Amino acid sequence: MKVWPHRFRSAPRRALIAMLAVSATAIALTGCGSSDSGDDKPVVLTTFTVLADIARNVAGEHLTVESITKPGAEIHGYEPTPGDIRTASKVDLIIDNGLNLEAWFAQFVADLDVKHVVVTDGVTPIAIGEDAYQGKPNPHAWMSPLNVQIYVDNMVRAFGELDPAHAGDFRANGDAYKGKLQQVHSELTTTLSALPSNERALVTCEGAFSYLARDAGLTEKYIWAVNAEQQATPQQITSAIEFVRTNKVPAVFCESTVSDAPMQRVVEATGAKFGGTLYVDSLSDENGPVPTYLDLIKHDAATISAGLTGRTS
């Protein structure tokens, strides 16, 4: 696990202070630990909602966990606000996914004097096979619940260092949650491996499902590799259309954080069904279909299965 303390450097610090000075609610940078929550629990800040939910399962009642990006946000090319920087300057630990998921993160933490932990440390990445990202690690490692068990191990270790008095609780919470991850992994593979071989293709907008496709034995095809370069060029759409036609794919899908318009063109050209919205880069809000990470995996497995077979299970 990598834990990098960052110290202020003179030029970025001046820029940060200038940014804070223009805010009517500028808050001193020296505060640490209690945030605005009114209690004295250490505060952990995650880059997106999926990590926040996983972290809350490990933290239990001992830590306050928040997310920089909100439900529904596009996370790859997110632009942090001055408010995000103020928030982050007061927390005790920042957690990011790594594997180049958060293109904005290195700049974000460069100006902050806060520890951060990369939760994919120890995960074996799958390389991206196409586009300008060819050969780079696919960042969506959490789409395998088995990888999330590694995320949990990294959180247990980091939270234990942050709050040693509760290290035993973090370990117990982590073990219990890893059991749930194992169960959801089994359900996922059972559901999707039951599909007939000619229905075992997963066509999506972003190439975010490499880990899930590997676990479930599905062939993966996508329009673009990573949302940060979201473009849906004519060549990319043509390639998806050819794949759907060649493999007689019955249904195609798109993700909640991007427009499904490019995939609707694939639908129009091929007669394949639009199988529904999948969740990857963000949870829904509390009243939506996937308020937790475990819900996200269950929802996607059920949607993929129902879309490809035409049956709801």
Q: Is 281 in the site for Zn ion (CB under 5 A)?
A: yes
- The full length of the chain comes to 313
* Residue (57 or 210) nearer to Zn ion, CB: 210
Q: ∠266-267-268 over CA atoms, to 5°?
A: 90
Q: Indicate the SS3 state at residue 9.
A: coil
Nearer to Zn ion, 92 or 220 (CB): 220
* Closest of 310, 302, 294 to residue 192, by C-alpha: 302
Contacts to Zn ion from residues 47-86, by CB under 5 A: none
> How many Å apart are CA 23 and CA 127, to the nearest integer?
42
Backbone angles phi, psi at 99, to 5 degrees: 55, 35
Pick 39 or 79: Cβ nearer Zn ion: 79
Number of residues that bind Zn ion (CB under 5 A): 3
Q: Helix (H, G, I), strand (E, B), or coil: what is residue 93? A: strand
Name the DSSP class of 233.
-
Contacts by 87-91, CB closer than 8 A, 24 or more apart: 87/35, 87/45, 88/45, 88/112, 88/114, 89/27, 89/29, 89/113, 89/114, 90/27, 90/31, 90/32, 90/33, 90/35, 90/36, 90/43, 91/32, 91/35, 91/43, 91/44, 91/45, 91/66
Q: Is 254 in the site for Zn ion (CB under 5 A)?
A: no
Least separation, in Å, of the C-beta of 76 and Zn ion? 6
Q: Which stretch binds Zn ion (CB under 5 A): 3-11, 59-67, 107-115, 223-231?
A: 223-231
For the bound state, the minimum distance from the C-beta of residue 17 to Zn ion, rounded and expressed in Å, comes to 33
Which of 117, 208, 252, 302 lies at the binding interface for Zn ion (CB under 5 A)? 208
Q: Work out whether 283 is an interface residue with Zn ion (CB under 5 A).
A: no
Binding of Zn ion by 169 (CB under 5 A): no
Tell me the window of 11-19, 109-117, 222-230, 299-307 that interacts with Zn ion (CB under 5 A).
222-230
Would you say 94 or 205 has its CB closer to Zn ion? 205
Task: Identify the helix (H) or strand (E) that includes residue 265.
Answer: helix 261-270
Contact call for residues 141 and 99 (beta carbons, < 8 A):
yes
Could you tell me the smallest distance in angstroms from the CB atom of residue 160 to Zn ion? 30
Interface with Zn ion, residue 300, by CB under 5 A: no
Using CB atoms, what's the residue nearest to Zn ion? 281
Q: Please report how close the Cβ of residue 257 comes to Zn ion at its closest, in angstroms.
A: 7
For Zn ion, the closer CB: 89 or 256: 256
Residue closer to Zn ion (CB basis): 101 or 308: 101
Site residues for Zn ion per CB under 5 A:
208, 227, 281
